Amino acid sequence: MTQSKYLPKQMNGSIVNAYMQALEDRLENAKTICDYLHGLSITTAQETELENIGKLIGYPRPLVPMGFEQENVFIFTESCIIDNTIGFSAISSEVGGRFVSSTSTSSNYMNLGLYRSVLDKIAYIKRYGVTLYSIDKIASLISKNYTIYYDENQDIVIHFSEYIGYQNLWLLSNLFYKFVSLPQVHIITDSE
């Protein structure tokens, strides 16, 4: 039996070296796990790994309403035809149409690419805290055309000088609501 590298040379008996070898064998599994965790990254993680990282950070992958990627959130019956040129829909058979819902009852998980980008910034906030710089990093995910200032209540306002879409407004509002208490962060966007 070889001498354990963790013991002084005076302790070179077969029993103590066998004991040390057994300990090293047990720790080899932990080393594999440590190596895996050390190599894990938000930018390279697979979907399940990324969701677990999100849970550890405190931002599990959120459910978003069905049709979240679409700009038209109003849902009409099948008798209505969605026409983007006039806004909502054209009526085919019923006078006035029947409004079903402004949101669907079912939900999907947030797009993985968007979740990865947001999770990276949330990890930054969890590490360094909520600062104007971290708020700026999150706002820059959406657009480069914005200003950040304080309002009369000393709350932080992010004013986008372009229309950013309801999805991005929903995302930023929910994100800042979850992680920022005082001062609050408000999102203002110019209309289309």
Name the nearest CA neighbour of 158 among 179, 182, 185, 134.
185
Percentages (nearest 5) of helix, strand, coil residues in the chain: 40, 15, 40
117 and 59 in contact (C-beta within 8 Å)?
no
The domains located in the chain, with CATH, are 63-109 (no CATH), 130-192 (3.30.70)
Tens place of pLDDT for every residue, the chain, 192 residues? 677 777 787 887 888 888 888 888 888 878 888 888 888 888 888 888 889 888 888 888 877 665 555 554 454 545 555 555 545 545 555 555 555 444 444 457 777 888 888 888 888 888 887 788 888 888 888 888 889 888 888 888 888 888 877 777 877 887 888 777 778 888 888 765
Decide: pTM greater than 0.75: no
